[in-house]
Structure 1
Amino acid sequence: MERQKEEQLQTSHTERLRQANAALQRAAAELPDEDGYRLRYHLMPPAGWMNDPNGLIVYKGEYHVFYQHNPYEPRHGPMYWGHAKSKDLMRWEHLPIALAPSEEYDSGDCRGYGCWSGSAVDDQGRLTLIYTGHVDGRTPEEVQCVASSSDGVTFEKSAHNPVVAAPPETGGFGFRDPKVWRHEGQWYMVVGYGKDGLGKALLYASPDLRQWTYAGVAAESDGTMGNMWECPDLFALGGGGEHVLIFSPMNMGDTKTMYLSGRFNYETGKLDVRYRERLEYGYDFYAPQTFEDERGRRILIGWMNIWGARMPEQERGWMGTFTLPRELTLAADGTLRMNPVEEAKSLRGAHHAFGMMTMGADTVVPLTGAYGDALEIMAIFRIADSATRSEFGLQLRCSEDGGQFTEVSYCWPEGKLRMDRSRSGAGELGCSELELAPLPGGRIVIHLYLDRSSVELFANHGMKTVTNRIYPDPASLGLRLFARKGEAVLESLDVWELSL
């Protein structure tokens, strides 16, 4: 009987996948040959819609990334799992769609259904996906499911689905985004949840990925961290029992991602939190997920968009992109550092170097020869000894008439780092702002990755990050330095042209 159910399930799933892959091929063929918003070195969908990264894993020596995907239109709708793989985290090969909504627990006759976010593990050689089946109006609305593959491309849904058929109690807000890992021979899973206005990460345990036991609340809000936690991710980092929990809190104002660090006790199932902070300070960063690679690095990838924003690329037949992969490290005080993975250096092409320069108050310095829409920029500034007040930084994607640009600035003595996109072009406006103390010697390190319609900023060696989408005119390619209200010193500036 179970075998018959498996065969019927797989036939339904296979047909849905065939239809979706055919539709995706047609949509990709219809995209314009030249699109100034398509990024040059970030992972994007071939066409259609992309959101949350799912199932990040190294499998049989290759990096795999799955993602929330609508192959039929560039808008959120019934969710499939898109799939890509890479040997170096930079150059991605798109594979056939991995999961399609096809069963009563993940499909329906409304728009709000699908194979929602989850994670991946290697279960004795089988690439296994754990995801949320979601159907609007169904009771329960969200359940946890499993699918697996022996070749890493073609996936079969388990006849045991849903493996977690309901949340542990009624009256909650959401029950989704399972993140699974293995510890001392046992599988563990955190699931995003909320109740009574408090976001929570629920903990489960299993011997075989099929039979799950609820183990309690690993961590929850103190009343100030959102009323539901999406995409929780709990992992060890830094040794000595230290763990980090990353999550995306709902209804927390400008804060869209947070992290908690401390010691996790497997016996009690509780994270003893010693530090908490906002994870990212840009507008366009959500639902990050991490994995550990074969070198022991903890690598994070996030969705480089945000719910509710204008998304100009939708008019061009696609929507969504992911951040550069970022390596996470934990400082002794419990704070996280995020920096681009070493492999990003392989993108570097022509190099432009600029030496020390003192900029007087209210000056703008165009950088001759350094321009483009895909650049890596490493600038080291120093607060001038004579400066009692100064603001300095860079302007990116500058138009020739000076009217269009994205500005990255540091204001002293307020200690504020800003990315202002009020003159960036189409799309959302607004200024991202955060507090940043100078490094010894009054230095401010601004490390930028610019890619057509995105800017990623890593400040002071990854102490703080800012990620934003911008949509300038294709001809806006200039780069300028500036100082206002006081002097500033540029110690060095390196600019690399980037390409795959």
Structure 2
Amino acid sequence: MIHWRPSSGFVGDVIPFSHAGRIWLFYLLDERPEDPTAGASGMPWALVSTTDFVQYTDHGVVLPAGDRDAVDFDCYTGSVVADGSRLHLFYTGHNPRLGDGDGSFQVVCHAVSDGDPTQWTKQPALTFGAPAGFVPQDWRDPFVYRTAADQPWQMVLAARYVDAPDRRCGVVARLTSTDLEQWTPAEPLWEPHRFITQECPDVFQWGDWWYLVYSEFTDAFQTRYRIARGPSGPWLAPGRDTVDGRAFYAAKSVSFQGRRFFIGWIPTKQGDSDAGRWQWAGDLAVLEAHQEDDGTLAFGLPAEVVAAYSDVQDVKLSPLGGADAEPGQGAIDRYAAWIGDAVPEHCLITLTVDVEAGTQSFGLLLHASADGEDATVVRLEPQRNRLVLDHWPRGRTGPAQWQVDGDVPHAVELERPCPLPPGPHTVRVLLDGTSGQAVVDNRVALSFRRHELGAGHVGLFVTDGAVNLRQLTTAS
């Protein structure tokens, strides 16, 4: 299982840490109690480690939740850093039974290790909350880093200003320290005046660029990033400022062997139903970032993940509904589709096509019926330069012919901007049971969840245009 999930529970926010030749993926273990406020235990940190995002070692819970009355009854998101041989873990403490009438406070907590990422000792004397001017209920996700080896430590947090418009008071607060124990407030790193808050901040340097990564739920549930030429900004929005869509949340990054990986989670849906609402937590997923000349980040599947699917088979397509025998044999001014055999629930699909100018849309049919009419649709739309996920048949609002969800053109929360000029394009789709990731040209990613998988055929379609098929394979 590439999209890792513990045997009991679900993966929440992931805190990646590179140490001793491995990537240590701390995560919030969501056991989904029916009433989180009534339980005897809160949310702990658990840990898996890997070197390739294919094979994982499960280390179980490494930072237990505090007791019923502790400020860290829930251990929420933070970061891990090394200072010499000593490791420091910073996390958010929360207890729904503590606080005032406006809600429970959030505090920064600290734990240390002598070098073993699986063994931690909490340091309760070093706990601190929000200073004056910040909302004490939103003081979370401490991320600790240095701008240079001889500079003080920096800590940024998801915070909110007091007495500011509710949906625009979010700020990336900042503190500094020389010893990782005593922290002094400093000028905020970023004040966008746009979001409720910027969760899970992450800061790193890559070549001549600095990056600020954050997740937000004001405009959309997405992980975004900003770029700058220096560690203090000004922070600018690149043309494609999102890592993925709604189904790859709270992504944080890690550098490993000169490469940069983003790790997030693909959420489940309520009732294990495609019609259900998105839930918090799900399966761990990873994308590898590539840097473009203007600082924009492109995202694809790690080469190790692709290589794990080594049994490659060509897909033999049959035309549907009067389509030409093979894609690309003639101009198409309508819908045409071709269907192949059913594929495994766990596989990697690779499509390479040459797209003719003026083509309205093309893409892959997944989990499809033999006639291609019931399918998950990965649709690329060159006229709009976007990548979307759709499904047919859609839901219905009533029994009449016109009472179909035609006013919902696709899963709008998953829509991705995607450059699609005429010429060659490669689409990879990783199917891992009910979760999936589509990647176009190793540049734009769209993660998704489909609980109702259907018959499992794979197919190709094109609308109002033409594509010439170079390659369509499945690998397991």
If the TM-score is normalised by the length of the shorter chain, which range does it land in? 0.7 to 0.9
Instruction: Work out the CA distance in 1 between the residues paired with 2:260 and 2:34.
Output: 31
Residue 386 (structure 2) pairs with residue 416 (structure 1): yes
Residue 446 (structure 2) pairs with residue 466 (structure 1): yes
Name the residue aligned to 1:212.
Answer: 183
Name the residue aligned to 1:303.
Answer: 265
Instruction: Work out the CA distance in 2 between the residues paired with 1:89 and 1:127.
Output: 23
Name the residue aligned to 2:250.
Answer: 287
Q: 1:374 aligns with which of 333, 339, 346?
A: 346
1:319-398 pair list within 5 angstroms: 320-323=282-285, 325-353=286-314, 357-358=327-328, 360=332, 361-368=334-341, 371-384=343-356, 388-398=358-368
**Are the counterparts in 2 of residues 85 and 92 from structure 1 also a CA contact under 8 Å?**
yes
Instruction: Work out the CA distance in 2 between the residues paired with 1:416 and 1:292.
Output: 29
Q: Report the AA paired with residue 176 of structure 2.
A: A
* Residues matched between the structures, number: 427
**Are the counterparts in 2 of residues 65 and 83 from structure 1 also a CA contact under 8 Å?**
yes
- Give a deviation string over 1:104-143, Cα, whole Å, max 9, x none: 5534xxxxx5011111112322333110111234267111
**Runs of 5+ consecutive residues of structure 2 not aligned to the other structure:** 317-325, 396-407
1:255 CA displacement: 4.8
Instruction: Work out the CA distance in 2 between the residues paired with 1:74 and 1:465.
Output: 33
| Residues 495 and 285 (structure 1), Cα distance of their counterparts in 2 relative to 1, 3 Å cut | same
Residue 14 (structure 2) pairs with residue 49 (structure 1): no
| Residues 418 and 46 (structure 1), Cα distance of their counterparts in 2 relative to 1, 3 Å cut | same
1:357 CA displacement: 3.9
**Are the counterparts in 1 of residues 350 and 427 from structure 2 also a CA contact under 8 Å?**
yes
Q: Report the AA paired with residue 81 of structure 2.
A: V
**Are the counterparts in 1 of residues 106 and 137 from structure 2 also a CA contact under 8 Å?**
no
**Are the counterparts in 1 of residues 105 and 136 from structure 2 also a CA contact under 8 Å?**
no
| Residues 68 and 444 (structure 1), Cα distance of their counterparts in 2 relative to 1, 3 Å cut | same
| Residues 433 and 70 (structure 1), Cα distance of their counterparts in 2 relative to 1, 3 Å cut | closer
Name the residue aligned to 1:110.
Answer: none
1:192 CA displacement: 0.8
**Are the counterparts in 2 of residues 291 and 300 from structure 1 also a CA contact under 8 Å?**
yes
1:76 CA displacement: 6.3
Residue 122 (structure 2) pairs with residue 143 (structure 1): no
| Secondary structure of the structure 1 residue equivalent to 2:251 | strand
Q: Report the AA paired with residue 233 of structure 1.
A: D
Residue 416 (structure 2) pairs with residue 434 (structure 1): yes
1:200 CA displacement: 1.5
1:481 CA displacement: 0.7
Name the residue aligned to 1:247.
Answer: 214
| Residues 148 and 423 (structure 1), Cα distance of their counterparts in 2 relative to 1, 3 Å cut | farther
- Give a deviation string over 1:58-101, Cα, whole Å, max 9, x none: 22222211111134748867211111112322211211301122
Name the residue aligned to 1:70.
Answer: 30
1:289 CA displacement: 0.8
- Give a deviation string over 1:140-184, Cα, whole Å, max 9, x none: 71111111223322211014330x333452446611001112332
| Secondary structure of the structure 1 residue equivalent to 2:306 | helix
Instruction: Work out the CA distance in 2 between the residues paired with 1:481 and 1:451.
Output: 20
| Residues 371 and 161 (structure 1), Cα distance of their counterparts in 2 relative to 1, 3 Å cut | same
Q: 1:478 aligns with which of 449, 457, 474?
A: 457
Residue 205 (structure 2) pairs with residue 236 (structure 1): yes
Name the residue aligned to 1:18.
Answer: none
Cα RMSD over matched residues? 2.9
**Are the counterparts in 1 of residues 129 and 139 from structure 2 also a CA contact under 8 Å?**
no
Instruction: Work out the CA distance in 2 between the residues paired with 1:460 and 1:41.
Output: 21
Name the residue aligned to 1:452.
Answer: 433
| Secondary structure of the structure 2 residue equivalent to 1:264 | coil
| Residues 367 and 165 (structure 1), Cα distance of their counterparts in 2 relative to 1, 3 Å cut | same
**Are the counterparts in 2 of residues 47 and 74 from structure 1 also a CA contact under 8 Å?**
no
Name the residue aligned to 1:15.
Answer: none
Q: TM-score, normalised by structure 2?
A: 0.81
Q: Report the AA paired with residue 343 of structure 2.
A: Y
Q: Report the AA paired with residue 381 of structure 1.
A: V
Q: 2:225 aligns with which of 252, 259, 265?
A: 259
Q: Percent identity?
A: 24
Instruction: Work out the CA distance in 1 between the residues paired with 2:51 and 2:290.
Output: 22
Name the residue aligned to 1:188.
Answer: 154
Instruction: Work out the CA distance in 1 between the residues paired with 2:435 and 2:340.
Output: 21
| Secondary structure of the structure 1 residue equivalent to 2:304 | helix
1:24-43 pair list within 5 angstroms: 40-43=1-4
**Are the counterparts in 2 of residues 404 and 424 from structure 1 also a CA contact under 8 Å?**
no
| Residues 410 and 87 (structure 1), Cα distance of their counterparts in 2 relative to 1, 3 Å cut | closer
**Are the counterparts in 2 of residues 371 and 477 from structure 1 also a CA contact under 8 Å?**
yes
Name the residue aligned to 2:322.
Answer: none
Q: Report the AA paired with residue 232 of structure 1.
A: P
Instruction: Work out the CA distance in 2 between the residues paired with 1:76 and 1:443.
Output: 50
Instruction: Work out the CA distance in 2 between the residues paired with 1:234 and 1:285.
Output: 19
| Secondary structure of the structure 2 residue equivalent to 1:274 | coil
Instruction: Work out the CA distance in 1 between the residues paired with 2:470 and 2:355.
Output: 10
| Secondary structure of the structure 1 residue equivalent to 2:198 | strand
Q: Of Structure 1 and Structure 2, which has the larger fraction of its residues in helix?
A: 1
Instruction: Work out the CA distance in 2 between the residues paired with 1:380 and 1:212.
Output: 53
1:50 CA displacement: 2.7
**Are the counterparts in 1 of residues 26 and 48 from structure 2 also a CA contact under 8 Å?**
yes
Name the residue aligned to 2:320.
Answer: none
| Residues 72 and 230 (structure 1), Cα distance of their counterparts in 2 relative to 1, 3 Å cut | closer
1:299 CA displacement: 1.4
1:437 CA displacement: 2.5
